[in-house]
Amino acid sequence: MLPLKDNIPSKHFPVVNVGIIVTCVIVYIAQLSAGGGQEWAFAPDMLIPWRGPGIGPTVGALFLSMFMHGGVVHIAGNMLFLWVFGDNIEDRMGHVKYLIFYLVCGVIATLAHSLIALVTGTAHMSLVGASGAIAGVLGAYLVLFRHARVRTLVIIIFFITVVDLPATLFLVYWFIIQVLSLGGAPGVAYMAHIGGFAAGFVLVRVFADTSKPRPPQIPPPPRVTDLRIE
């Protein structure tokens, strides 16, 4: 399932959200120019003192990896999710708090993945992508806008349709898929998704007032019925 839009209008231009998207695109172009840029990426074994390059390079790689991606599909999917859900979170938190929240969720997501990687012996594998930080945005959205609806592209083999789903259904389904996928494809950091989502779900209460009433929603368009001419 791919989100296309939600029914919560933004009150302010999401300057930080757009800035993150633009930065990710610029970094990805730089990666392509550098032949992939994997040497810039963060690897969990950097956290081991006798293996890591030092505090400075490790912290730099930790944050830079949040803006790197492994391919066109990877960055396109991540930026779509961020575009659909991030603007409303920025609206409620404010620009500065949203940026801090995004980065903190990304760091927690990376550390969650690193813990598993160190235990399973895959700590040498580089980690790139904004998925962990974006998962934090999804966790926050579930708290702040659980009554929203998300226009969703649903693809089941050859069946393709667009439906409006409750945000709670969409996000809980997404989270369950991440949990069930643990231990699956080695190239996907599912634990980063889970850690980021959990971080966002909890930390949103620190960065935003969750007691505010839900914002006005755009009513769905009227149904078009068949016309019968007699």
Alpha carbon distances (Å) from 198 to 135, 142, 186, 206, 219: 8, 11, 21, 14, 30
pLDDT value at position 54? 85
Domain annotation for the chain: domains and CATH numbers: 2-207 (1.20.1540.10)
Q: Report the C-alpha gap between 22 and 182 in whole angstroms.
A: 30
**The amino acid at 114:** S
Record the pTM.
0.88
* Dist. CA 136–CA 153, nearest whole Å: 22
- Strand, helix or coil for residue 48: coil
Digit-by-digit pLDDT tens for the chain (230 residues) are: 899 999 999 899 999 999 999 999 999 999 999 888 888 889 888 988 877 788 899 999 999 999 999 899 999 999 999 999 999 999 999 999 999 999 999 999 999 999 988 888 878 888 899 999 999 999 999 999 999 999 999 988 888 899 999 999 999 999 999 999 887 766 788 999 999 999 999 999 999 988 755 555 555 555 544 434 33
